[in-house]
Structure 1
Amino acid sequence: MSKDNEIILRSLSRPAEFGDLFFRYAPRIHRYLARRIGESVADDILSETFLVAFEKRATFDQSHTNALPWLFGIAINLVHRHRIAEARTFKLAERTAVIDSVDDETRNSDSAVDAAVEVQRLAGKLRKLNKADRDVLLLYAWEDLTYEQIGVALGIPTGTVRSRLNRARKILRSSSTQQEADHGRVRIA
């Protein structure tokens, strides 16, 4: 199997070769985009991601054998152009948790209800994170990218990835700790 940098290099003289990258990575990038900005916009951003990548393929750093972080970087830049839609998606998830990846039997179980409550809580916290911290956290948690790959995707040093991820975790953890401390207590105004 060809390495991504080899495919990109060949595509400079044979543009159709670039299609191999689309077939290799489009499903994963689409999944990420659908989670970030919703299914309705994900198709458009995915198409735009690969159009931009195709147009900029000559500038791809050939020392990288994996193009996935580069493609995620392009996708994230496009997502930032659609931040309003992303904010709406997080607000909607905060208000009404949707369980979309469980079967009908599980959907009605206690664990599904617990998951829905957790999605609502986390969606609100994700929405409140600054965009730089949220980008790092979601690439790490949803796409299982390494710190180095996240750095390439976002164009930042690995140390910055670590500090942003640490900050995001602390914010999410502090909200969980406060909620656990308040659990079972009745607040009197």
Structure 2
Amino acid sequence: MAEPRRSLPDVADLFDAHGAELLRYCTGRVGPTVAEDVVADTFLIAHQRRHRLADGPARAWLYGIASNLLRRHRRSETRALRALARTGRDLDQTDIADGAAARADASALTRRLAAVLAALPARQRDVLLLYAVAELGYEEIARTLDIPLGSVQSALHRARVKLRAALATDPATTASPDGGSR
């Protein structure tokens, strides 16, 4: 007796459910122009390989595809982060704040964050951005990157330690709005 044919996932439904969050994640990684291409390619690949999804977690599967595509942009991403660290200006964004002082503070923090992200090992950067930008949980990150759960936890911990250490030396990030220290 032949097995009943399982239904393939509807990519349009997957796009409706996950497209916007995937675009936000990719935009945080590579900027809006490349992000749109990465998301489009993600759903093209998802359509071509939809038979591989079965009844598994679609969200992690899509993030896995997008992460693989983003790895192809790793070199340009690192170059862009280093350039951002040098200049403090993201040419794809408008001014961060209206006042000159606020722009200077934001620019300094942006340069510092970009430098820290560029200096992180690829695995730590991937885990940190999947957690902080895409808001994936530990298990989803493990499935997305095809790594053990413990590796996700340790990579996130190490990335946070490095980020905290780098920001702790920046006076703009250690003063609270009321003038005291945090």
TM class by smaller structure:
0.7 to 0.9
C-alpha displacement of 1:145: 1.2
Do the aligned partners of 1:38 and 1:89 also contact (CA within 8 Å) in 2? no
Is structure 2 residue 143 aligned with structure 1 residue 143?
no
Gap runs ≥5 in structure 2: 1-5, 175-182
Q: Deviations over 1:100-126 (max 9, x none)?
A: 4888xx432644542321111010010
Is structure 2 residue 23 aligned with structure 1 residue 33?
no
Do the aligned partners of 1:136 and 1:150 also contact (CA within 8 Å) in 2? yes
Q: Which residue of 2 aligns with 1:21?
A: 14
| Aligned-partner Cα distance in 1 for 2:13–2:119 | 37
Aligned pairs for 1:1-189 (under 5 A) are: 10-11=7-8, 17-64=10-57, 67-98=58-89, 100=93, 106-108=97-99, 110-179=101-170
The letter of the residue matching 2:168 is T
| Inter-CA distance 61–159: structure 2 relative to 1 (3 Å threshold) | farther
C-alpha displacement of 1:39: 2.0
82-91 or 134-143: bigger deviation = 82-91
90-99 or 44-53: bigger deviation = 90-99
Identity %: 37
28-37 or 69-78: bigger deviation = 28-37
SS of corresponding position for 1:107 = coil
Q: Which protein has the bigger helix share?
A: 1
Gap runs ≥5 in structure 1: 1-8, 184-189
C-alpha displacement of 1:80: 0.6
Q: Compute the RMSD of aligned alpha carbons.
A: 2.4
Do the aligned partners of 1:32 and 1:142 also contact (CA within 8 Å) in 2? yes
| Aligned-partner Cα distance in 1 for 2:89–2:16 | 29
Do the aligned partners of 1:90 and 1:123 also contact (CA within 8 Å) in 2? yes
| Aligned-partner Cα distance in 2 for 1:148–1:98 | 35
The two structures have a TM-score, normalised by structure 1, of: 0.76
| Inter-CA distance 63–44: structure 2 relative to 1 (3 Å threshold) | closer
